[in-house]
Every structure is written in C-alpha cells, then in structure tokens.
A and B are shown apart, each in its own frame.
Chain A
Amino acid sequence: MSGVPHDEKISLEIAVLLRRATETVEEKLARLGIAPEEWEATFRLVRERPRDCAKAVMTRGQVFVFALLLLGFVCGFVLDPLFSLTVLNGVLLTFYLVLVVYKLCLIHLSLGHPGDLDYTPEEVARLSDEELPVYTILVPLYHETESLNRLVTGLEGLDYPKDKLQVLLLLEEDDHGTISAVRDMPLPSFIEPLVTPDALPKTKPKACNLGLARARGEYVVIYDAEDRPEPDQLKKAVLGFREIGPDVVCLQARLNFYNQRQNLLTRLFTLEYSMWFDLFLPGMGDMHSPIPLGGTSNHFRTESLRTLMGWDPYNVTEDCDLGLRLANDGYETRMLNSTTWEEACSHLGYWIRQRSRWTKGYVQTCLVAMRRPFAVLRRLGVSRALSSALMVAGTALCLLINPIYWVLTLLWLLFRWEGVSVFFPFPVILWGLLCLFAGNFIFIYAALLAAFRRGYYDLVKYALLSPFYWMLMSIGAWKGVLQLIFKPSYWEKTKHGFDLAQGYAEPASASVKTGDDERGVL
C-alpha cells in the first residue's frame, strides 16, 4: 500500500478494524483458515472436564473449606493468639523439614541412577529415515520478531527428515509484527503458520491446543521461539517412545540455558534450572512420581494427548498442570537425556514477571488438583501424590513463606526481640534451627552439585550466592499470588532476545552425564 495516501491508508485500517470487531466467530475462523472443529477442540477440556480446568480459580466447595479453615484460625487467634501462631509455626517448619528430606532423596536418586532414557549417537544413527514417523513441532510465538531468523535456522538444523516434519508456528491474531515478519520470510515447506483468533483467554496453551487439533504427526513436541534443541532430540524421543510402554505418553527433555554467563542473574537462574532438570526431575522420574513438565521440549504421543484433551487454556503453567493430569489419568512421564537450550531471562523486571507467572500457575495447578483430593490420592497412591504435592505446592509455598522467616531471623539476630522467641518453644525451635542450619545449607549445596554435574565448573562458586536469588524468587512469587486474585489467567509474557547482541552459542557438551556410578559405594 506504499502508493496509497496517508489519510486513505488510515481509513482503510479503521475499516478493517471495524469489520473485524463486528465479525462473528465463524467469520473470523473462516478468515484465518481454521475449521470450527479445530476451534472447538481448543476448549474441549473446559467443556468436558470443567473441574480439571483453572477457569474458575476456586470452586464453591473450595471457597467453603478455605473459609472454614480461615475462620478456625481466626477463632483460635482470638482465643489464644500465642498458641495459634505457635502451632502454625510448627506446622510450617515441619513442612520445611519434610521438603528438605524429600529433595535430599531426589538428589540421592538422581546422582546415583536416574530413570532417564539415554541413547548414544550410534543408536540414533542406526535409525533409518524410512522408519521414522511424522513429527509435529508446535512453536507458539507472540512478539518474537527478533527470534524468527534464529528459530527457522534452528528448525532447519534438526536431524530429522524434513518431509516427515510438520512445524506449526502458532501466531496470535493481534500480533501484527510477528505475522508480517513471518509472511515476509521465505519459509521452508515443512513450516506453516497458524494464526490463533484474538479471543480470551490469550494464553500459550490455547494456541497449543489449536496446533494440536491440526497436528498430523504421530508425536508432537513444543518448542519456544528461542529454543535450540539438540539436533538429534526428535530421534532420541522416537527411540524412547519405542522402547517404553504405551503408558508413558510424555518424554520431558532437559532444559538449560545457552547464555548462562551473561550476567549474575542468568548464572543463578542457570543453577536453578540445572537443579530442577538435572537433579530433581530425574529423581522424580526414578520414583515414578508425576513430573511437573517444563514449559517446552515435552514430547507427546499425539493421540494420547488428544485423549487428555490437551492443555488447560486457562492455566498459566499449563505444562505443570498437564504433567499432573496425565499422571492422574494413569499415564506416565519419563525424562529424556537430551538438552534444549533456552535463553535465560537476563532482565530483572522480566525475570520477576516470569517467576510471578510460574508461581501463579503452580498455585492454580494445586487448586485444580485439590478439587478432588481423595480421587487424586486413590489414583496416584500416597507417596506419588505427596511427591507431586511437595514439588508443586511445596515449591510455591516455600517461596511465599521464606520472607516471613527471614524477617523473623533477622529480628532475632539483630535485636534479640523476645516477641520472636515466644513463637519458638521447644521443640519448635529445634525444627527452626534444623531448617536454618541444615535446610538452607542443603539447598545451597544442591545448587553447587547441579552446576558441577552439568559441567558448569566455573559457576559452582556462584551457588554460594543462592540466598540472594531466593529473595528474588520470593518477590516474584508474591507478585504471582496477588495477581491470582485480580488477573488469574493473565499471561505475563517473558521478553526474549536480550542475548542477541552477545550471540551466545550452546555449549559443546550438551547432555548431562547421568548416573555417576550405577552401584555407588553401597
């Protein structure tokens, strides 16, 4: 429209906007080339299993139970405030101790004999192109114009026959910048854009559900725009799916960052990610407990995922929710020893926004799971249910209550305020001191081990700075919880591309060394 006068151009744009504002859903779908059944499949979970969906933050029953608990505590506080607060303190400290012991078990398992699926390059090379199935890759994009070139290059670099690849770039209708950048770009034939209609909720899982409806691969995987998966990851996933039983419907690859050394924040973020994906999740896999999936690089059997009705479009950590839901439905997730390199958010503001979304999503997921606690217990069994509760609810709760204990500890150390001591009678003080001296140390040491295991030897010393990082995590967590009240399904977008100026490359030694020694000393 370069030849069109300016006023006329504005008039045309206004006309387009007006037409779009007044068009029906059917018209919109037709304009975007989406079949009505595809659009319906996007919200199937909301329609058919509303209790498994986070559309309503809490059900009436949950509100009633929470109100009852709150009332009980308020009554207790009015009658005997000291006793009530001491009991609450004891309960919280017991929770801390249980969490510490549980994570110690995970680390022990993970360092010894993780339940990862691992394949050598020779095993991967033995796969012929003919025997490979069609693989669908979903790439949700929103304001990602900077990452597009790198994304396409990365996808082209995947070691998988291109005629058996279906890459769906999931674009948002209101993201004109990315849409026009995609249109202007000469895309290879296996990459096709798919524009999601502009409708609430505007979340990544909604776009993924639409992609799932259109997927024609036997397996499907999600990658983010800035992801750099190991080239043979898809083949490893195929090998994995063939080796394991049909109950395992998801393989979670390890995630890590390629810009670990960009600044202090990315260094500490890398340590956290290494701890999560290289120590905790493999340990959970070894225990066969439900794995809260990471945001990307989850490989699924497409049909099973459709049976599960895809992702919850209202949950802002839809990955974690799906991990628990598939376990509830009797399926399993295993870890795949292949790494996808992501961009660590290096900007503090965006990092806090991302963290707030994660914590909000974890709380959402917990609230959804707690709608039928007895059913979950019956299906998963006590140990697996407890394991997932500790990992999801425990992580969020820990971040939320940490600042309270830091303040109490500081008040006690600096001012010897007796008001603190009264809440710590024996044996509560013993619990507290164990958490203070042993618990904190164990988490720092775990970060240190994670860095070592990943081969980030120069980052090991930064693990000693973990307590400062925990403070940032708690800030993000509180922001997320407050947001849950006011904007429960609002998606805090993480901005990418801060690393572009530096041009980071993924490390050469990609996969983590698993299983130090199968037998160990004992």
Chain B
Amino acid sequence: MTGPQRRLKAVHLEIGLFLVLMAGGLFLAWHTSESEVVLNTEAVIRVGVARDLLHGFPRGRQGLVGSLEWAPLPTLLLMPTLRLPAPFGGDWAPVMVALTAAAFLSVFLSAWLGRCGVGRFLRLGVSLAFFLSPAVQKTVLAGSAEPIFWLTIFATVCFLMHWLETEALRSLAYLSLALALAVATRYQAAMLFLVTGLFVVLHLCVRRQRKSYAEATLIVFLVPGLYVLLLWLTTNWLIMGNAFFFLRGLFVEGALWQGAGRVLDNVEEWGHVALLVILSLAVWWMRGLNRLVRGAATVAVVLAVCVPIWYGPYGDTRREERQRRVETEAVARDLAADYKEDWIVYSGYLGYEFSRPHDEPRVEHVYHTLSFYLDPTLADTRGKRTYILAPRAKGYGCWEDVNLKYPEMFSQGTYFTVFERRWENWQLFRVVRMDGTDRSYGGDIAPRALHQYSPRIGPEPPEGEPAAVEPGAPPGPSRPARSPRTPPAGGIRRR
C-alpha cells in the first residue's frame, strides 16, 4: 500500500469513527435527557448571547464595533445551529456543539495514539472509552463549552510535541492556531499560551538556532494568540470600558493576578485537561520502547487515565442544574403573576435564565441590561414601579455587574432600594425614585435630601409624552408602559 493510500484509509477510518460517535452520542443524549435538555448556566448564557447576536442587538457601550459581535468561540459556534429544530438546534444547540467537539476530540485522540504507534483496536477502544465516560457525557448533556476547550488544549499539546521533535512548520502553525482558539474559547488559556511560549523559547535556546530563525519562529508562534488576546481586550474595553474587565470579580477587587488565580480555580475542568495531556505525553515518549514493553506500558497508561476519567469525583451537577432551573422558573412565574404591571430590571449574564425559554429578544415587562447603569435604566423605566432582581453573589452571580457595582446589594440592599421579596438565590428590591415619577411612594418615602439629585434624569422625552416631573412637583399621571418591542429612549443595554 502506498503512502497516499495509507493516508486515505486512515482518513476514512477517522471519518467513520467520527460519524459513529456523533450518531451514538446523539442517541445517548436524546435517550438520557428524555427529550428535555437541561443546560448548565454557562450554556444558557451562551444561548442567550447568541440569540441576541442573531437578533442584531445593540452596538456596544463605546458605539464602535458591536459589543457582542466578536463573541467567544463557543458562542459563535452556537449561532448556525440555534434556529434548527431539535435535536439539532434550539436549546439543543449547545449539546450538539459540545457533542461535535467531544466526538472530534475522541477522533483526534485516536489519530494521535495511532501516530504514536498504538494498535488500531486499542486506540479505538481508548477513544470510545473517553467519549462514553461520565465526565464527557455530563459536559455534553449540559451543553458545556468544556469539550471545545479540551480539544484545543489537547491539540496544542500534540502539535507542541510534534514541533519540538520535527520543527515542522505545519505543526508550529497549528500549535499557534490551536492556542489561539483556546484563548478564544476561555481566557484562562492565556496562561497556557505563556507556558507553551516558554517551551518554544527554551527549545530555540537549547537548539542554538540562529537569531533570524528564532525570531521568525517566535513571530509565527505568537501572532495568532496575540491577535485573539488583542480581540479579547478590545472587546472588553469596548463593552465594559475596561480591557481587563474579565479578570474582575467580587473577591478579587480588581487585582489582576488574583483574578487570574481565581479563574484557574476550577479543579474539575483542569483535571480532565491534565489527564488528556498526561496520556498524550506518555504515549509520545513511549514510542522509543520495544514493542512488548510499549504495549504493556500503553495499556497501563490508558488504564491510569481512563479510570479517573470514568470514576472521578464529578458531583451531580445535573441535579444541581435541575434545582437551579426549578428555582428560576418559580421566580419567573412569581414575577409574571405579581409584578406584571411593573418593570423588572435584571442585569448581567444570569439574566438570560429568564429569557431562555423564548426565542424573542425581550420578555414582557422585563428590562435586561448586561452592564448595570442606574441612571439610564431609571430613565428608561420611568413612570412605573421598578424593581431590581439581584442574584446571590455566588458562582456566576459574583460576576454580575449589579453585584460588582453594589457588593452589598444581596445582603442588605442599597440606599436607593427597599427590600421586596426573597427566593433562595435571588432577591427583589424596589427602586426608590428620586425624581418623583414613581407614584407608588405617594410622596412619603422620597426624602427631602434626594431632591438635590439631578432634576431631570435621562434624555428629553419624545414629543407628545409628558416631561419628567421636576423635584417636588406634584405627581402627574403615569406614563404608559412601552411596547416591549420598542427600545426605550437611551437604548437597551444588553449584551
């Protein structure tokens, strides 16, 4: 058999494996979920963001490049499938994307093992065992972006090892592109970028390559990753006004290195990546051993990796997701029943929990804003009772802008709110209007001092609508609620 024929046969085998894994994975997902998909919070957020993108939602705080139009890779991958019917689209879209990534990763794993001399049956067995492991299936069923991240990291490691041995240009290019995709998937990968860069520099130093070659190698290696990092930073600056916004959190108070440490603090995710890396490194290094020893060692390594992948401490996150969803639905139901005449303002990514079941960009009487800006929000919701729905500052909740701006909001409220209602992870606060347009207070709550605040909040009302009431003036008639389809003056702040 000639070289090209062998190559073609290998490609056919890999395509066949991919198709089998996709079909099997889809069947498993459908069967396990009983036709109902329970996405994790991250997937819900990504679906929400992708839907906003598809609806052409707003253009970003700075008004330059659209705020969401350069979304992370998993969100971009969701978009083509979002409008397809189940089980290929809709709420299944993240599951399909995760499934495709997991299947591709399993095929990559098989091909890599084959490259390292592992026999066909063993490598097929390993890739099947990996694909069917609870860890992978759990992330697939939750629609997580983790399989994409694992895939990029695994590819990075494989291409790095290949390049270290051969200095092949294609491996160097794919190494840097895989890293760039990893960074585009999760910004945590920036750390990996640094580590890999260190390997490349060390290799160049050890090999004592001439200066022009080393410089060119570094440029080829750095350009894709730096480009994606630049896009990340630019997007953060455009949306949040701070290029390093993504490293902020309640518990880090803006310290970058602490932020970086915090985002790496996800043992489960890194554990899986580490296992894959160990496997790829081990089989690569074992190529030099004689056939018998290599066979035994390969089986040992495969077992050493597969057992923790199968029996690792994963926790029943699917149950947690179900509980969270039950609570979210209860909150949405209560809000719809008891506050349908009022504005409910919620901020941040977790707000997508409420708009998730609908393909509409906005939900009746709900005002969703990614970045929480009080004044324009109050201006936009003027004339009605307004409530702020704040998530508990835990997990994703601590990243929400309302908690970043008002860290005590959940525990004790703020100077302009009154506690209204509590659920386990959410609290509702009524906003105390300073301009008197909210007549729910009847003039007895707004303290005198508040009148010293800006006499008119927000832009001039459109012609034919009542002007904002001057401080101290008797309350006028309420403004009618805006149509949910019509963006309020000042624009909907939504990402």
Co-assembled chains A and B: yes
Which partner residue on chain A sits nearest B114 by CB separation?
Answer: A522
B247 to chain A minimum Cβ distance, whole angstroms, is 22
Residue B411 interfacial (CB < 8 Å): no
- Asked if A522 contacts B115 (CB within 8 A), the reply is yes
- Asked if B112 contacts A522 (CB within 8 A), the reply is yes
State whether A517 and B171 are in contact (beta carbons under 8 Å apart), knowing that A426-B55, A427-B54 are contacts in the complex: yes
- Asked if B158 contacts A521 (CB within 8 A), the reply is yes
Residue A518 interfacial (CB < 8 Å): yes
CA gap between A416 and B115 in the complex, in Å: 51
- Asked if A519 contacts B216 (CB within 8 A), the reply is no
Residue A334 interfacial (CB < 8 Å): no
- Chain A residues within an 8 Å CB radius of B69: 429-430, 433
Which partner residue on chain B sits nearest A453 by CB separation?
Answer: B169
Which partner residue on chain A sits nearest B211 by CB separation?
Answer: A457
Chain A positions 429-458 with a Cβ under 8 Å from a chain B Cβ: 429-430, 433, 437, 441, 444-445, 448-449, 451-453, 457-458
State whether A521 and B112 are in contact (beta carbons under 8 Å apart), knowing that A426-B56, A448-B223, A460-B220 are contacts in the complex: yes
- Asked if B174 contacts A521 (CB within 8 A), the reply is yes
Residue A250 interfacial (CB < 8 Å): no
Residue B213 interfacial (CB < 8 Å): yes
A-contact 0/1 string along B148-173, CB 8 Å cutoff: 00000000001100100010111101
CA gap between A520 and B53 in the complex, in Å: 38
Residue B436 interfacial (CB < 8 Å): no
- Asked if A425 contacts B56 (CB within 8 A), the reply is yes
- Chain B residues within an 8 Å CB radius of A367: none
B94 to chain A minimum Cβ distance, whole angstroms, is 18
Residue B3 interfacial (CB < 8 Å): yes
State whether A437 and B166 are in contact (beta carbons under 8 Å apart), knowing that A416-B64, A448-B219 are contacts in the complex: no
A-contact 0/1 string along B199-230, CB 8 Å cutoff: 00000000000001101110110011001000
- Asked if A516 contacts B3 (CB within 8 A), the reply is no
CA gap between A461 and B223 in the complex, in Å: 10
- Chain A residues within an 8 Å CB radius of B59: 416
Residue B65 interfacial (CB < 8 Å): yes
Residue B231 interfacial (CB < 8 Å): yes
Residue B108 interfacial (CB < 8 Å): yes
- Chain B residues within an 8 Å CB radius of A253: none
- Chain A residues within an 8 Å CB radius of B174: 521
CA gap between A515 and B105 in the complex, in Å: 25
CB < 8 Å: which of A425, A461, A521 contacts B159?
Answer: A521
Which partner residue on chain B sits nearest A425 by CB separation?
Answer: B56
- Asked if A449 contacts B162 (CB within 8 A), the reply is no
CA gap between A518 and B115 in the complex, in Å: 12
- Asked if B220 contacts A448 (CB within 8 A), the reply is yes
- Chain B residues within an 8 Å CB radius of A457: 212-213, 215-216
CB < 8 Å: which of B63, B159, B168 contacts A416?
Answer: B63
A115 to chain B minimum Cβ distance, whole angstroms, is 10
- Asked if A521 contacts B169 (CB within 8 A), the reply is no
B66 to chain A minimum Cβ distance, whole angstroms, is 8
- Chain B residues within an 8 Å CB radius of A452: 169, 216-217, 220
- Asked if B171 contacts A516 (CB within 8 A), the reply is yes
- Asked if B170 contacts A441 (CB within 8 A), the reply is no
Residue B378 interfacial (CB < 8 Å): no
CA gap between A486 and B223 in the complex, in Å: 44
CA gap between A11 and B173 in the complex, in Å: 69
State whether A517 and B170 are in contact (beta carbons under 8 Å apart), knowing that A416-B63, A433-B70, A461-B219 are contacts in the complex: yes
Residue A1 interfacial (CB < 8 Å): no
Residue A111 interfacial (CB < 8 Å): yes
A279 to chain B minimum Cβ distance, whole angstroms, is 10
CA gap between A112 and B169 in the complex, in Å: 9
CA gap between A430 and B54 in the complex, in Å: 9
- Chain B residues within an 8 Å CB radius of A111: 169-170, 173
- Asked if A451 contacts B216 (CB within 8 A), the reply is yes
Q: How large is the interface on B (under 10, 10 to 19, 20 to 34, 35 or more residues)?
A: 35 or more
- Asked if B3 contacts A518 (CB within 8 A), the reply is yes
State whether A426 and B219 are in contact (beta carbons under 8 Å apart), knowing that A457-B213, A521-B158, A521-B162 are contacts in the complex: no
CB < 8 Å: which of A426, A427, A448, A516 contacts B166?
Answer: A516
Residue B101 interfacial (CB < 8 Å): no
Residue B111 interfacial (CB < 8 Å): yes
Which partner residue on chain A sits nearest B3 by CB separation?
Answer: A518
Residue A413 interfacial (CB < 8 Å): yes
B-contact 0/1 string along A76-109, CB 8 Å cutoff: 0000000000000000000000000000000010
Which partner residue on chain A sits nearest B176 by CB separation?
Answer: A445
- Chain A residues within an 8 Å CB radius of B220: 448-449, 452, 460
CA gap between A520 and B175 in the complex, in Å: 12
State whether A516 and B169 are in contact (beta carbons under 8 Å apart), knowing that A413-B65, A457-B213, A522-B112 are contacts in the complex: yes
B194 to chain A minimum Cβ distance, whole angstroms, is 21
Which partner residue on chain B sits nearest A449 by CB separation?
Answer: B173
A-contact 0/1 string along B19-59, CB 8 Å cutoff: 00000000000000000000000000000000001111001
Residue B79 interfacial (CB < 8 Å): yes
- Chain A residues within an 8 Å CB radius of B108: 522
B123 to chain A minimum Cβ distance, whole angstroms, is 13
- Chain B residues within an 8 Å CB radius of A112: 170
- Asked if A458 contacts B212 (CB within 8 A), the reply is yes
- Asked if B159 contacts A413 (CB within 8 A), the reply is no
CA gap between A413 and B66 in the complex, in Å: 10
B-contact 0/1 string along A216-241, CB 8 Å cutoff: 00000000000000000000000000
Which partner residue on chain A sits nearest B171 by CB separation?
Answer: A521
CA gap between A401 and B216 in the complex, in Å: 32
CA gap between A437 and B231 in the complex, in Å: 9
CA gap between A522 and B111 in the complex, in Å: 6
- B4, B59, B168: which has the most chain A beta carbons within 10 Å? B168
- Chain B residues within an 8 Å CB radius of A413: 64-65
CA gap between A108 and B171 in the complex, in Å: 11
- Chain B residues within an 8 Å CB radius of A461: 215-216, 219
- Asked if A426 contacts B212 (CB within 8 A), the reply is no
CA gap between A429 and B173 in the complex, in Å: 28
B170 to chain A minimum Cβ distance, whole angstroms, is 4
A229 to chain B minimum Cβ distance, whole angstroms, is 25
Chain B positions 60-100 with a Cβ under 8 Å from a chain A Cβ: 63-66, 69-70, 79
CA gap between A520 and B14 in the complex, in Å: 15
CA gap between A448 and B231 in the complex, in Å: 20
- Chain A residues within an 8 Å CB radius of B216: 451-452, 457-458, 460-461
Which partner residue on chain A sits nearest B107 by CB separation?
Answer: A522
Which partner residue on chain A sits nearest B210 by CB separation?
Answer: A457
- Chain B residues within an 8 Å CB radius of A427: 54, 79
CA gap between A451 and B215 in the complex, in Å: 13
CB < 8 Å: which of B63, B66, B168, B227 contacts A520?
Answer: B168
Pairs A-B, 6 closest by C-beta atoms: A516-B168, A457-B216, A111-B170, A457-B212, A460-B216, A517-B168
Please name 11 further chain A to chain B contacts, defined as beta carbons within 8 Å, in addition to the given A413-B64, A522-B115, sorted by A numbering: A426-B55, A448-B219, A449-B169, A451-B216, A457-B216, A461-B215, A517-B170, A517-B171, A521-B115, A522-B108, A522-B111
